[in-house]
Amino acid sequence: MKSPARVLSIMALAAAGAVFAQGYPNRPIKVVVPWPPGQATDTAARVVTEKMGASMGQQFVIDNRAGAGGTIGTDIAAKSAADGYTILAGSSGPISISPKVQKVPYDPDKDFEPICLMATSPYVLVTNSSLPVANVTELIALLRANPGKYTFASSGTGATAHLISEFFSLSANVTARHVPYKGSAPAITDLIAGHVDYAFETSSAVLGHVKAGRLKALGVSSGVRAMALPELPTIAEAANLQGFDMRAWIGLVAPAGMPREIRARLSAECQKVVDAPEVKEKLLSLGLEPGGLATAEFGDFIRRQNERFGAIARGANIKLD
């Protein structure tokens, strides 16, 4: 049982937080983006926080801190004051994946608290145009009949595309060889040329090649069909791989300890913006699926993603150290 003094202390802190939140924000809010300008996380953050700033009466200032696969900027945000004036444009790479495959100077489970999911990015399973398969089932049959013969590309060891591909191999019980590249562009170039056989890539990266007939699209990695590609089946439905739901995610997160009232205000404003038709249209044009999950639901989503990517990294023995 809490002592009366302890209860009064908690009540005083809550009241102080509420008063602080009433005057919030009274100066610009910094948004740390751990990627360079033009990258998907950066673009989504700019689209959403510009509208949030207009609604809240204060500017959201983007602070690009790129490097080390997003871990440098993520660490800067983790060590920032939890006063509501520094937030992070978080994403699956530095939060859900990097801590599972290498040592990072922050703990994603302890150093951050969720604000709002802005968008997710399903990946498209594509093959070079000459591979003799027309759907996911045929690809799985080909790989099972020729274990280790065929290759898949990714933008790098430990990248989202790499882990999704490994999850596909584990789920479908197939064996293929991984060919890592330094980025998506060279991976797609070699895939088109036939130097590798298939890959999981973002829709924005491959859609033009699919329409031009240079690549074949077989399915999407998300649990539901992609808004940008409604005619394309999910991997789960195309090959009866129940539970196959892998996506990159982008959301706003706060340094741990931010006053609850402020985090709730940011979450509500973020959800309102993401639900706006013009913002949805902009995100979809970038190959992103609008999100909008609130703090509790977003927190559960991040935990599930962290656990899923961690299990894949262990199962495929992916380590960068």
In three-state secondary structure terms, 106 is coil
Nearest-angstrom CA–CA distance, 262 and 271: 14
Give me the pLDDT at residue 11, please. Answer: 46
Report the pLDDT value the prediction gives residue 2, as an integer from 0 to 100: 41
Closest CA to 210 of 231, 235, 183: 231
For the chain, give every residue range classified as CATH 3.40.190.150: 4-121+248-315
Q: Could you tell me where the DSSP H helices lie in the chain?
A: 4-22, 40-56, 71-78, 92, 98-101, 136-145, 160-172, 184-193, 203-211, 235-239, 260-274, 277-285, 295-315
CATH placement of domain 122-239: 3.40.190.10
DSSP summary character for residue 79: T
Question: Phi and psi (nearest 5°) for 303?
Answer: -60, -45
What CA–CA distance (Å, rounded) separates 228 from 225? Answer: 9
Beta bridge partners of 221: none
- pLDDT given for residue 171 in this prediction: 95
Dist. CA 290–CA 25, nearest whole Å: 25
Q: Give, for all 321 residues of the chain, the pLDDT tens digit.
A: 444 544 444 344 444 444 455 689 999 999 999 999 988 899 999 999 999 999 999 999 999 999 988 999 999 999 999 999 999 999 999 999 999 999 999 999 999 999 999 999 999 999 999 999 999 999 999 999 999 999 999 988 998 999 999 999 999 999 999 999 988 899 999 999 999 999 999 888 898 999 999 999 999 999 999 888 899 999 999 999 988 999 999 999 999 999 999 999 999 999 999 999 999 999 998 889 998 788 899 999 999 999 999 999 999 999 886
Phi first, then psi, for residue 216 (nearest 5°) are -110, 130
The predicted pLDDT at position 22 comes to 66
Under DSSP, the state recorded for 69 is: G
Query: What is the pLDDT, as a whole number, of residue 7?
Result: 41
Side-chain-facing half-sphere of 302: CA atoms under 13 Å: 28
> Topology of domain 4-121+248-315, per CATH?
D-Maltodextrin-Binding Protein; domain 2 (3.40.190)
pLDDT for res 21: 57
Rounded alpha-carbon distances, angstroms, from residue 195 to 126, 163, 189, 190, 221? 14, 20, 9, 5, 23
pLDDT at site 293: 83
Degrees to nearest 5, angle at CA 165 with 298 and 72: 55
Q: Give, as one character, the DSSP assignment of residue 41.
A: H
Looking at the chain, the domain(s) classified CATH 3.40.190.10 span 122-239
Give the DSSP H or E segment for 154.
strand 151-154
**What is the residue type of 142?**
L
Q: Both ends of the chain: CA-CA distance in Å?
A: 47
Contact indicator for 198, 169 with CB cutoff of 8 Å: no
